[in-house]
């Protein structure tokens, strides 16, 4: 490799002199040397043997920075809402009463929004944190009434049902190689499962028997629509996009 020993520019093998400074070129591996450049001359990047430290790209920093900023903004907004709620409760009743319920709701909202942003690279840790946290907060809501009344019959089963539907939907979406209309199909099936389970929990507690009514109607709409979306995704969209099919 022929280069200029003065300005450290790689030149062609046939160049006996550097086209920039006119110095005689040499052949061999480039070594980093401290040289004093002429005033007004352009500095060229130096080469060093071994591995070069890769510069950090801007697009590698921005996603992480955006997540941090989003968590900070959400925390500030929800913190202000919590403070205003507590102060309003104290001003109106000179004690904490309904603001306890609102505070737990705000804390639950922060967990649901911010934990996935903080741990977005670790989905299973997100489920491990949110899984027990949400039922625990709902249990505290019931305890604030002075006794446990609706948690065991409604709060815990419904919370587990919602978490199960979200987990299954996220799992099937995550293992899908090609994501498109199949995502909406999976969500429709999850909504159908949620509605059937929700009505089943309510019926068993109110009537002590399973009598599905409105959830069946929802399923009759969601399941065929989900099947159609699956068909469009795996059969039609694989061959051509909707834009080409309908000449959009």
Identify which has the larger pLDDT, 64 or 44.
64
Q: Is the pLDDT of residue 49 over 90?
A: no
Residue 206 has pLDDT above 80, yes or no: yes
Residue corresponding to tokens 């160049």: 15
Q: What pLDDT score was predicted for residue 149?
A: 87
The reported pLDDT for the residue numbered 248 is 46
Q: Where are the beta strands (DSSP E) in 73-230?
A: none
How far apart are alpha carbons 162 and 140 in whole angstroms?
18
Q: How many other C-beta atoms can be found within 10 angstroms of the C-beta atom of residue 85? A: 19
Q: For residue 114, report the phi and psi dihedrals to the nearest 5 degrees.
A: -85, -35
What is the pTM (predicted TM-score) of this model?
0.64
Identify the pLDDT of residue 241.
53
Question: What average pLDDT score do residues 52-70 get?
Answer: 62
Q: Give the pLDDT band (50/70/90) at residue 137.
A: very high
pLDDT value, residue 163? 92
Average pLDDT, the chain: 82
CA distance 114 to 72: 9
Give CA–CA dist 144/76, Å, rounded: 26
Name the residue with higher pLDDT: 238 or 207. 207
pLDDT at residue number 190: 95
Map out the domains of the chain as residue ranges.
1-50, 61-147, 150-248
Confidence of residue 37 (pLDDT cuts 50, 70, 90): very low
DSSP state of 144: T
Q: Looking at residues 236-242, what average pLDDT do you find?
A: 59
């Amino acid at each position: 490799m022929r280069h200029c020993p003065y300005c450290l520019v790689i030149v062609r093998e046939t160049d006996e002199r550097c086209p920039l400074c006119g110095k005689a070129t040499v052949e061999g591996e480039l070594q980093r040397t401290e040289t004093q450049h002429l005033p007004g001359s352009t500095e060229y990047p130096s080469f060093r043997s071994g591995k070069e430290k890769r510069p950090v790209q801007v697009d590698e920093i921005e996603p992480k920075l955006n997540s941090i900023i989003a968590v900070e903004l959400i925390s500030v907004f929800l913190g202000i809402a919590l403070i205003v709620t507590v102060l309003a409760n104290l001003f109106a009743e000179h004690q904490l009463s309904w603001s306890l319920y609102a505070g737990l709701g705000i804390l639950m909202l922060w967990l649901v929004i911010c934990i996935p942003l903080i741990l977005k690279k670790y989905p299973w840790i997100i489920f491990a944190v949110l899984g027990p946290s949400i039922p625990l907060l709902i249990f505290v809501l019931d305890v604030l009434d002075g006794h446990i009344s609706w948690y065991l019959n409604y709060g815990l089963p419904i919370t587990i049902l919602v978490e199960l539907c979200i987990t299954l939907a996220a799992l099937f979406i995550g293992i899908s190689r090609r994501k498109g209309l199949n995502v909406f199909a999976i969500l429709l099936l999850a909504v159908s499962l949620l509605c059937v389970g929700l009505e089943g929990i309510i019926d068993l507690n109110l009537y002590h028997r399973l009598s599905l009514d409105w959830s069946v109607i929802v399923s009759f709409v969601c399941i065929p629509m989900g099947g159609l979306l699956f068909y469009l995704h795996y059969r039609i969209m694989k061959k051509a996009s909707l834009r080409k099919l309908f000449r959009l």
